[in-house]
Amino acid sequence: MSDKLDQRSYAYRADLADSRLKGQVEAERYTEGTPAEVIAPVADLRPRPDPDCGIDTQGLFGEALTVFDIAGGWAWVQLAADGYVGYVREEAIGQGHSQATHIVSVPRSFVYPGPDLRFPHLMTLSMGSRVRITGAAETRATPYALLEDGSAIIAAHLQPVGEPLDADAVAVAARFLHTPYLWGGRSGLGIDCSGLVQMALAMTGKASPRDSDQQAANLGTVIDPEQDGLQRGDLVFWKGHVGFIEDDETLLHASGGTMYVTREPLQAAIDRIAKLYGLPTLYRRP
């Protein structure tokens, strides 16, 4: 088996591999996989089919993925949006893929059994979740969007798929201020540093890799803060960490120090982080 392809981004094991990798990796058999989508509000992706191992990332409601294998209650999948590979619980996914029309555009929103905010909510969806809207209703002057099963979500919490939420990724990231830090999280219920960067860029229409090392290797262009200066939206990387430059004196990031999305003076953050992980390793302009 190849040891050159990153198994976070390429689906291959000794017994099974994505058919697109035939000739690049060795496996007992190959498969094209089957299309599916996330049907849980958030689906944790793990590197192994083991509930006791940490999560690498998450799939959000309505996101498309490919299923390569299902065994023992676990599905081995690859997310369509960023190509991340991992294991999710089988019950978190549904076969096929409904054509989403809208995307949740606020950090968190509720799905109700009908168009009334007084109803007990069915689930909580994160920004980035995708839904298919088939109708509209209004109750006590509040507009609702109706899903295929008749459930409802606040219409103002949605935007059409393909329509950027904002041109400013930092403004999107700031909507997550005080959201709890969660290792591997990429939702309004809990998010990590690279998940915040990926989410904020995605909502401006820009694709991003998932993990901070992948972002450091691929996002935008490398800059020298001494020569190029720093501007809003630039990214500063440490070993295993990333954050947005909000202005030339402020860092906005999902912090393991405060355990929530926060803003802090850039130099103070550099000094604090240096004691544990060293100085910044790289600056990039997406």
What pLDDT score does 69 carry? Answer: 98
Q: How far is CA 147 from the centre of its chain?
A: 23
What mean pLDDT value characterizes the chain? Answer: 96
What pLDDT score does 98 carry? Answer: 79
User: Which amino acid would we find at residue 105?
Assistant: S
Residue 1 has pLDDT above 60, yes or no: no
Q: How far is CA 18 from the centre of its chain?
A: 23
What pLDDT score does 4 carry? Answer: 84
What pLDDT score does 97 carry? Answer: 81
What pLDDT score does 203 carry? Answer: 97
CB atoms within 10 A of CB 278: 10
CA distance 262 to 251: 8
Please report the domains of the chain, with CATH numbers, ordered by start residue.
16-95 (2.30.30.40), 102-160 (2.30.30.40), 169-285 (3.90.1720.10)
User: Which amino acid would we find at residue 244?
Assistant: F
Q: Name beta bridge partners: 78.
A: 66, 85
Residues 6 or more apart in contact with residue 196 via CB below 8 angstroms = 173, 176, 244, 253, 254, 261
Q: Cα 25–74–83 angle (5° rounding)?
A: 45
What pLDDT score does 216 carry? Answer: 98
What pLDDT score does 3 carry? Answer: 58
Q: Which two tokens stand for residue 269?
A: 């953050």
For the segment 121-143, what is each residue's pLDDT rounded down to a tens digit?
999 999 999 999 999 999 999 99
For the segment 216-230, what is each residue's pLDDT rounded down to a tens digit?
999 999 999 999 999
| Closest by CA position to 60, among listed 80, 82, 38 | 38
- CB neighbour burial string for 187-204, b if at least 16 within 10 angstroms, e if fewer: bbbbbbbbbbbbbbbbbb
- Cα 107 to Cα 32, 124, 173, distances in angstroms: 34, 10, 10
The band of 96, judged by pLDDT with boundaries at 50, 70 and 90, is confident
| Residue 179 CB-half CA count within 13 A | 28
Q: Is the pTM of this model over 0.85?
A: yes
Q: Which two tokens stand for residue 249?
A: 């004196």
CB atoms within 10 A of CB 260: 17
